[in-house]
Structure 1
Amino acid sequence: LLVNPRTLETRFELTKMDPALYSQVADLKDGAVSLPLVDADEKGMKHYKLLTVTNRYDEHTADYAKDYLKIKELALKEKQIKAIAKWTEEKIKETYIKINGDYRDCKFTNNWLKK
């Protein structure tokens, strides 16, 4: 059983899938088995993978009934990004930051130069 390392689910989005895996499953019919794929784990140990597609989900407009978990995940990420941005803005105002002359002309995402 192959688990998506980002979501810890067995469901993969093709556009965000590892290219080596994508090339094996892109043209695979439901229930068909891929050619053996050699892979290495974190320790460098080689092992073989056989892949099969059990279910394909057609591209569709997001729907609360079908995509509730995905919508919830995206909303949570957006909330986290906003909270981090707000926290960063507050901390920049009260924190001493020295940026050397060579880097003063860089374009920063945040107001590090306090202009």
Structure 2
Amino acid sequence: MKHNLIIADDHKMFLDGLLSILKTESNYNIIFTAKHGGHVQKYISINTEEQIDLVITDVTMPEVDGITLNKWIKENHRTIKTLVVSMHNTPEIIDDLIESNVDATFKKTHKRKNF
């Protein structure tokens, strides 16, 4: 069974990396990518018949951030799971996400290699 995913992240390198990893997995179908949560809200609102299993979103994005997007999804589309990723997993952010019923969070790490 394929799972339909939406990914929202304003960092092109992270988005491209995640897409390249997920495209190698036969169980995942990426149906939409966006640079901010407003695009995801619009897509979900327009495509009401589409089965969306998971939205992966960054916390920090322009216009509509990941916290706002997660809250909107959980209030309006309860069957969609959410995974929120961020480099800034402060207690306040985690508390906000838990209060709005996030399904999972993941901390982005930034490692620099010296050559």
**Structure 1-normalised TM-score?**
0.21
Asked which structure has the greater RCO (Cα within 8 Å, sep 6+), the reply is 2
> Which structure's CA Rg is the greater one?
1
**Structure 2-normalised TM-score?**
0.21
